[in-house]
A and B are shown apart, each in its own frame.
Chain A
Amino acid sequence: MISEIDWERFLFAVLELVEHQLGCPDTLLLDRDIVREIAERARETVGSYNKESPNVPKIAGHIAFWVRKLKPVSFEQHATEKFLAVNELVSLYAALAFCDQYHERRSQHHRAVIYRLPPRVVVDWATTMRFHSHSPHSTALIFEILMGSVLPEME
């Protein structure tokens, strides 16, 4: 399933999103070789569940982990502004895009959770992913909880 994804095209789109979020257009670089490495590593560690078709939050967690670990994103030389946790921000939004594909949980409520994460949470999340230890499986668990049914319905 994830072996059929065009990772370069997908992550390039996430970089465009993050440039927009940061207000820093035309400043990010994506390393093609590291993208290929991420795809390989994610395929291997998602395989540790020994599942034919693991649910989407699990895949999201592993993608987030490998993007923030292998850091395929950097800033152009000419960039005058930088967000030091840019790889972590890219990893978060790549994972959220995966979570949005979780058809079983694709209610307006769950989509709102993805689209309306409080700004403070986004900044804190990117920061902790930069500074602290997170495993692929613990990261996956965060997305499982995010897409779970523990939050009240928001209409």
Chain B
Amino acid sequence: MPRIVGLESSSFDPERYRQAFGDNHGDDITTDGLLSSVSTIREATTDDLRNALRASPLFVKTGAK
């Protein structure tokens, strides 16, 4: 015969369960805001980053001998 297990007075609350991912404070994101962030990231690009990317084994030169 099967058994059902569980505490007699479980505190499981379906309403709270549905809110498991709590942070609901999204901001208003606009395309222009995103473009502005991309532009700022571009200005912060350093030669160190470019050198690291180009030194990666995943950076390949086609037709190179």
**Which residues of A line the B interface, CB within 8 A?**
1-2, 4-6, 9-10, 13-14, 16-17, 20-23, 49-56, 58-59, 79-85, 89, 93, 96-98, 100-104, 111, 114-116, 119-120, 122-123, 126-127, 130
With a cutoff of 8 Å between Cβ atoms, the chain B residues found around residue A100 in the complex are 37, 40-41
Whether a CB of chain A sits under 8 angstroms from the CB of B49 is yes
**B34 touching A10, Cβ below 8 Å:** yes
Whether a CB of chain A sits under 8 angstroms from the CB of B7 is no
| Nearest CB of chain B from residue A24's CB, rounded to whole Å | 9
**B41 touching A53, Cβ below 8 Å:** no
**A53 touching B37, Cβ below 8 Å:** no
Interface pairs (27), CB distance under 8 Å: A4-B31, A5-B30, A5-B31, A9-B31, A10-B34, A13-B35, A16-B42, A21-B49, A21-B50, A21-B53, A22-B59, A50-B18, A51-B21, A58-B23, A80-B63, A80-B64, A81-B59, A81-B62, A89-B53, A97-B37, A97-B41, A98-B37, A100-B40, A101-B34, A102-B27, A103-B27, A120-B52
